[in-house]
Amino acid sequence: MSAPYDNVVLTAPVTVPYERYSERRANYWLGRALGMLAKTTGLDKKHIDGLSVSSFTLVPDSVASLTQHFGMTPRWICQEHTGGASGITALRKAARAVQMGDADIIACISGDTNPKDGFTNILDNFSTDMSQAALPYGAGGPNTSFALITKAYMEIYGARREDFGKLAISQRDNARTTPHALMQKPLSLDAYMDARIISDPIHLYDCVMPCAGAEGYLVMSEDRARELGLAYVYIRSAIERHNAYANDPVQLRTGLAMDADMLWQTAGLTPRDIDVVQTYDDYPVISFLQLEDLGFCKKGEANIFVRDHDFTIQGDFPHNTSGGQLSAGQAGAAGGFLGIVETIRQLTGTALGGQVANARLGLVSGFGIINYDKGLSCAATILERGQ
């Protein structure tokens, strides 16, 4: 069991409103997130002495070059390359750095730009395995990899497209309360089922819309957050794991399954205690895997769990309450921050859209870096409203 995250908190959730396309650099989107962090907290930027960055389109720049772009002189920097898990892997490192005194206030930011040809560029430069073992097969990108996972999952566990549809539709309902969500039109089950086929069994509304945008939050001591008068959340527990179950022929479980027991034990909580859940939803099946691997239901039974619960903000299992990436859009690596930022808002009573009543405990999980057949990184954290 890892040491508790005492006297360290997350605060100041910010979102730079998403745009479908942008010809600006990633530097712009990341810089806007920093600007919003300073503005919403009233902090002078010289007090932010740590910087953690997650971005796919920042290359050839890095977090070190960004310090010059942003006129910062931090004593702690970190760059996350875990994509959909980066919001949580960033907080794990930043929280420890603050606890140990290596930095006082760390800005964790993530953002990407999305020029018209942006997505093809990300694919071409994603990884050597993707270039060698996936893209030559029709260049379907992640749609191919996730279609294969979804197909095997449906065949083995009996999930139906309607089950994935219910998740997507609930998230659209949630998105419609969230001002910056890109997709605001109601989604019906008929529209979901009849959508254009992308890579069987993946259809249009199983896919996220790539966009530009950024997300961010601050990590600091509880004392500091109090002094500044900021609403904050505690980290009750946090796990990450990479390249788990490497010999599985198809990815029907994530590395979360390896560490879920420790996640709950460290927090002294069970899945029933959680008031609001955010999973990484680049495709609905991945949310299903996370719900199972984290113990909200048994392996292969997420379809039943989804049928039995109401995943909307006012439902009995509020999930992806800002619409998730499926409805808010996927601003590159910022998709891995969406869940953290939204959970800080929900637990501090500052939701931009629908607020879950009396939310005290939230769980966030992330999943990222699909190389050619499997997503390699996963992480989860349990957060609690600060007193």
Partner 1 sequence: MIKLQVCSDCQNVHYPERDICTSCWSENLLWSEVSAHGTITSVTDLHISAKPQWKDKLPLRLGLVALDAGVNILAFLDSDLCINDKIVLCMDNGIYSATLKSEN
Number of alpha carbons in the 13 Å side-chain half-sphere of residue 212: 21
Please give the residues from 169 up to 198 whose contact with partner 1 meets the rule CB under 8 A: 196-198
Q: Classify residue 129 as exposed, middle or buried by CB count within 10 Å of its CB (0-12, 13-18, 19+).
A: middle
The pattern of x and - marking residues 105 through 134 that bind partner 1 according to CB under 8 A reads --------------xx--x----xx--xxx
Cβ–Cβ < 8 Å for 383, 236: yes
Q: How far apart are CA 44 and CA 118, in angstroms?
A: 34
User: For partner 1, which stretch binds (CB under 8 A), given 29-37, 243-251, 258-266, 347-355?
Assistant: 243-251
CB of 143 to partner 1, least distance (A): 7
CB of 246 to partner 1, least distance (A): 8
Q: Does 148 bind partner 1 (CB under 8 A)?
A: yes
User: Using CB under 8 A, which of 72, 228, 231, 250 touches partner 1?
Assistant: 250
* Total interface residues for partner 1 by CB under 8 A: 36
Q: Does 104 bind partner 1 (CB under 8 A)?
A: no
User: Using CB under 8 A, which of 6, 155, 194, 308 touches partner 1?
Assistant: 155
Q: Does 242 bind partner 1 (CB under 8 A)?
A: no
DSSP assigned state of 139:
-
User: Using CB under 8 A, which of 24, 143, 253, 271 touches partner 1?
Assistant: 143
Q: Does 38 bind partner 1 (CB under 8 A)?
A: no
Work out whether the CA dihedral 159, 161, 162, 167 comes out positive or negative. positive
Whole-angstrom CA distances from 231 to 33, 80, 224, 310 are: 18, 26, 11, 28
Q: How far apart are CA 73 and CA 50, in angstroms?
A: 9
Q: How far apart are CA 354 and CA 171, in angstroms?
A: 12
Tell me which amino acid residue 320 is: N
Q: Does 361 bind partner 1 (CB under 8 A)?
A: no
Nearer to partner 1, 126 or 232 (CB): 126
Site residues (vs partner 1, CB under 8 A) = 119-120, 123, 128-129, 132-141, 143-144, 147-149, 151-152, 155, 196-202, 246-247, 249-250, 372-373
